[in-house]
Every structure is written in structure tokens, then in C-alpha cells.
Amino acid sequence: MARKFNLQNTSLRVRIFISMIFLTLISSVLISLVAVYQFDKEAKTYHEDRLERKEMAINEHINFILKTTSYPLVSENLPLIFKDKIHELSTIHSIKIDLHDLDGNLVISSKGDFASDKASDQKISPAILKIIASSPSKRFVDLKINKDTRYRSAYNYIIDNRFKPLGIVHIPYKEEADFYNNEMKNFLIRFGQVYAFMFLLAIVLAYFLSSYITKTLHLISERILTTQFNKKNEKLRAENASREIETLISAYNKMVDKLEESAEKLAQSEREQAWREMAKQVAHEIKNPLTPMRLTVQSFQRRFDPQDPEILRKLNDYSNTLIQQIDTMSSVASAFSNFASMPAQENEMLNIVKVVQLALDLFNEDYITFQSSKTEIITKFDRSQIIRVINNLVKNAIQAIPPYEPFPRIYVKIYEKDAFVYIEVKDNGTGIPKEIRNRVFEPKFTTKTSGMGLGLAMIKNIIESYKGTIYFETTLDKGTTFYVKLPITN
């Protein structure tokens, strides 16, 4: 009894041989299919372009007739205007031309012989009229296939000098596919002749290549399969091996040495990178409020007046602002000392308008303007994280304004809409160049000479952790506006 052939039970050499022959067959079939598809596509494109060119030429000719006619340009005069011109148009452009009124009724035709006349109606269907009217180009091409022949019908409006539709021109067109069919047949015949030779050559090459490959792979395949990046790998040892096998064994042994060295370097690099990233993030978080705090202290020192009747209230506000920023830095330092991530959210019910005002009090620039639609917008957020967002956005806005700007302006606006609180920070700086706009929120990306480039990436993560969004609009040499949208929660 004959045994059923099973590819899985054959040797690796036979599998490689059969696979290479199969790939050769598949590639030839795919090439043939692609060639047939390409010829067909080229034929369609050629006829589409040819019909479009004829249509454009006819339209230009029609427009010339309309400009030179003595009849008033109304739909009822189309038979009179084109009475003697329709046959001239058909003869010049070698194609049948029908003119219809706006309701689709045939008003005049060149009455040339056309193979699809029997299958087509004298009146344009309402569906086609509707498509033409709704099309932006006021043009429609209908495609019909009768057996192996394609018929196209182009429709477009005839318009007067005020672009008012007068009627519809219908251009029927038959696709002649004999040239492309002959070209495709000739190509397939030539391809078949070449392929027959290549197939025989592929059989010979597949046989020798499969023999060569399996002979080498048999010695080292098992060891390669057991090679792992994170484990100690044993080197190969072979006696009386051929030159090819010795080369493969030598390459494998060198790979084992490099893998071991790379694994050690990678582990060390990962440890260093983890500490480096954490150090950058913590340094950025601690350094971020220091500049506005320093400016606040200097401002208070210059304006301090013991005789001011409101000195106690101002001192209290000043102290609360600094204590709040110090607490934020303290929480960051505590998290780093515990080898943890950035401080977790400590949400509380707060008036976000007041929190934003407190954050802006740290800045000494008199060109910062704050506006709020309400005095209170109560929601649940982490106070320190909201302050961190405002600090970063305002600080970036200040740095975006060039020193030569005579009238620097920064507008901070907050308002409530549809259960969301919106914060806008707008400046009249230099704007963000188009080539870097997609990278603004990337970690460690910065255009400044100082800083780690973590600010915008950090506040983006904060905002998204509250299921909010942040985006910006910018115009070169006019400024940038950042928009923060946060849901209001209870």
C-alpha cells in the first residue's frame, strides 16, 4: 500500500528543496497576475484620461460657440445654437455628442454610429441628473460593461458666461482594448518562455543549495536553538571539521562572547539610565519653582514697608505661597529618598481659580494678566500638581518672548464649560517652528540651552492622569496659546 506523502515527515533538505521550487512557482504566478492587473489598470487609466481630454476639448469648443452665437443663451435655444455645429463638433473630435436639457431630455444629437446606442436611453435617468447636480465638479462618468466591452458615458453641464447651467452634454465613449490585449498576450508568451528556462535552473540551484545549507545547519542548529541572551552559553568544539563548518563554529563562538559582554553592559546601562532619568526628573521638579520663588522674595524685600496697614495680610499671603511651593519640593525629595515615583495624587476639593492665582503670584512680571469667568470653580484636584502645571506653562511663555519685544504680554484665562474647566496661557512670543511642533511634548526634547526638556512632557502626563487634554495653537512671530482641558469632579 502506497504511503501518503507528508511534508512534515520529510527531511530538512527535502523541505528546503520543495519550498524553493514552490516559491519559484508562486512568484511566477504573482508576476503574471501583477502584469495582467497592470495592463488592465493602464488600459483603464488610458481610456479615462482620453475621455477626459476629449471632454475638455469639447467643452472648450462648446464655450467658444456659446460666446460667438447671436442667439440668447437660454436652454430653449440650444437646438438652434448647435443646429449646424453639433456635426462639426462630432467630426472634429471623432466622437458622438448628445445635448440634453436640464431635465435630461435629448434636444440635439450628432447621431453618429455608436455600439451602445441600442442599450442606452434617449433621456438621462433622474439618478444621474441628481449625481451631476450634487457633484462639486458638476461632472459624472457612468461605466457600463457589455460582455467584454466597456462603455463610458461622460456628463457635464453647459454653462453660460454667468456660470448658469443651460443644459447637459453627454459624450458616449467605447473603450478599444485590442491593443492592450495583444500586448498582454505577447508579454505572457515571452514570460512563459523565459520562465520555463528559469524553472529548470531553479530546480538545479534548489537541489545544491538545500544540500549545502542542511549539511552546515545540522551541526550547529541545536546549539543555536539553546542560545539565550541572559544565560551562560557554552562554546562549540569540533574536530576534523570542514573549513565552512569551522567558520560557522568560530562565528558562533564569537557571538557567544559578544552576547555575554552585551548582556553585562546592558544590565549596567539600564541601572545607570534608571538613576539618570530619576535624577533628571527630580532635579527638574525641585528647580522649577525656585526662580519664581526667588523673584517673589526679591519683590517682597523691595516693597516691604513696616508702616503699611496691610503688611500682616501681605506677609501672610507671601508666607503661604512660599510654604506651598516648599511643600511641593519636599514631597518630591521624599519620594526620591524612598526610591519611588513622583508624588502620588492627593486630591482635595479646592477652588481652582484661587489656586491658579496663587501660582501666578510667584511671578514678578507685570505683563502677566489673569482673567476668570467665575470667582469660584470648585473641583477635586491635587493642589501641588495644578500649581506645577501653571508654573511650567507660564515659565515657558515668559521664555518664549524675545528680549527685544517692546510690549510683552501673557494672558492666563480660566473658565468653566460643559462640566470641564479650561485654562489658557497665551503669549506674544516667537511661536513654535513647524518642524518641531510634533515633538513639543516629547520627554527630553528642548530648544533651550538649559533645562532637561521634561516640563511639558511631565505636565502632559499629569493632565492625562486626570483624563484631561492639553494642546496648543501657534503662529510664528505672533505667539503661542496652550489649552488645558480638565474634567470637573466632585
pLDDT per position as a tens digit, 200-220: 887 787 777 776 666 656 656
- Spell out the residues 6+ positions from residue 371 whose beta carbon is closer than 8 angstroms to its own: 411, 412, 413, 414
pLDDT per position as a tens digit, 241-283: 556 667 777 787 888 777 777 777 776 666 566 566 666 766 7
Share of the chain above pLDDT 70, in %: 77
pLDDT per position as a tens digit, 317-347: 777 777 777 777 776 665 555 434 455 677 8
Task: Supply the pLDDT for residue 1.
Answer: 45
Share of the chain above pLDDT 90, in %: 16
Task: Supply the pLDDT for residue 21.
Answer: 80
The whole-number average pLDDT for the span 78-94 is 85
Task: Supply the pLDDT for residue 115.
Answer: 39
Task: Supply the pLDDT for residue 457.
Answer: 81
Q: Residue 149: beta bridge partners?
A: 146
CATH number of this structure's domain 12-181, picked from the four choices 3.40.50.2000, 1.10.150.20, 3.30.450.20, 3.90.180.10: 3.30.450.20
The whole-number average pLDDT for the span 115-135 is 71
Distance between CA atoms of residues 462 and 345, nearest Å = 9
Domain ranges (residues) in the chain: 12-181, 288-487
Task: Supply the pLDDT for residue 340.
Answer: 41
Cα 358-362-368 angle, rounded to 5 deg? 90
Task: Supply the pLDDT for residue 114.
Answer: 42
Domain 288-487 class? Answer: alpha beta
Task: Report residue 94's pLDDT band, with 50, 70 and 90 as the boundaries.
Answer: confident
